[in-house]
Structure 1
Amino acid sequence: MKRSFTQRFPNITATEFIQTRLRNADFEKQIHTEGNGALLEWLPTKFSCLVRFRINVGWSDPVQRMLGSDEVVVNETRNFTTENFKQIISSNIKTNLPYLSAQISRTIEDCKDGCIETLTLEIKYNGGTFRDQIANDFFKAIAKHIFPLNNSEIVVHNIDPRPVAGLFVPPRHASQYLAIHSQLQGLREASEEYLVTIDKAKIDRKPLQIPNTNQLNQVCTLLEPDRFSIQKEIDEMKVEAQRSDRIVQEIKKTREQVKPGNSLPMFLIATCAAVIFYVASNT
């Protein structure tokens, strides 16, 4: 729901209007009290202002039975700027109902004998059931807190020509619907946080460098089985074993030729012959 208004205020400049109405805690307290609400917090800064107040909406049936309470806490953040001699105030409104919010845009400029304010109020409802009814009830309630009290002329510029039809949920299922809606809202916020976390966790990995054909051939050459063979060592050991076996056989043969009763010199001669054979075989 979005509506625009033009309001004329006599005998007051645009700057005075902002100071006495939009940046004045006493005036703020007055309009909330007269609107059957209460000012809860007032925090002005140089270029903005935070206002928190409570309003009584007075929901119509069956919304009243669904929500169970008329009180809504409103948090409004006003930002003040100047453009082409016009005072521009933009407000973001959030409520304690996560599916209900609003935006206000004000443009105030001086005119003859006063100032003119162009105000646009947009109600945003993110639910699906009783959309038009809830938006209208909230609009009527918050209008008491943002519109002038008496001395102004209000002209309605435009009203939504075709209200958006909402999904109908019977009153007996309303509490379940609102609970599911809150859970879905939480899931959406969690998914957005998850996407941010994933994006921050991305690592700048360098591309994999695959060796070329020449490098692969060099590696294969170095790893050929022939380079790691011990066949040569085995052959040398066999030759040495055969040589040792011939020496042993020669010694045995010499001992058999030496009979008992032979003199010691014959044994020595046989031993020397075996040693000479061993030396000759090595050379």
Structure 2
Amino acid sequence: MPIEINTPDKLEYQFFPASGGVFTFKVRSPKDAHIALAPGPQEGTPMFEIFIGGWENSKSVIRKDRQKPDVVEIPTAGILDAGEFRGFWVRWYDNVITVGHAGDAAAFLSYDAVDLFPVNYVGICTGWGATGTWMLDEPSSPTAPSAPVMGFSNPIGNGPGCWVPAANGETPPGAMQGGFDSSEQLYIARARHEGDLIPGKLHPSHGVVYVAWGGGEHGHNEYEVLCEGGGLWVPVEAGNIPPGAFPAGETSEGEPLFIGRVTHDGTVTVGKVQPSHGCCYIPYGGEELMYKEFEIYVAK
């Protein structure tokens, strides 16, 4: 449920918890919508700032540690509007910060931070003669619910997580975020297809889990979602499966399948790792795409 935040003409950030490597929002302002990425809920160093519609709504920049010159600057005349909401997303993944319009996969601002700090909080503010109204996704609670939510039973499990049945785009509490597509968060899930149990991506707004099989992308409206996991993503080289990789499915012949993800066409997409093939297959754009370089989900 989106929450509405009003920011005064005051260059002072209001901070909110960040998770999943993406921040989506809508803002109505004549100019100077500012976003901060920070390790804690306060201004300081290190910190990255993104100014959308600065300099009288003529350009947008990324600034590091409040220092000039800005690390990225592009002209964006008329990007904000005082009379209507404009949607945007900000992502931080693999040390790269990107900013784009809602509904667009491609970014209009991008910066390789090389060694990005953990982004735990996002701040918003307006200034330089502008006020703003923001629509944000409500921050999730840091603790698991104590009672069933949305008709689901509480997840039970530890380590890499546990699988919770769901359908038609439902996302159980504690669902594990695996990537993003445009401005939407994707989750780790699995479904049966042609005798295989295949890990893939839950796309909530589409109402299905997509899995890769036989050269194609296949959607299933009944699936299981990985919940309450404590694993991490590990880069894979030369197809070597690291110790602790979490088996999430299997082929009809009994070969284990693992959870992988790759960056593709401005998205981070979850798919299946098949050890005998030495690669990760992702479902995307109706096709099954193969990558030799990918990340794999490993239990702590």
TM-score normalised by structure 1 residue count = 0.23
TM-score normalised by structure 2 residue count = 0.22
Q: Give the strand-richer structure, 1 or 2.
A: 2
Q: Give the helix-richer structure, 1 or 2.
A: 1
Larger radius of gyration: 1
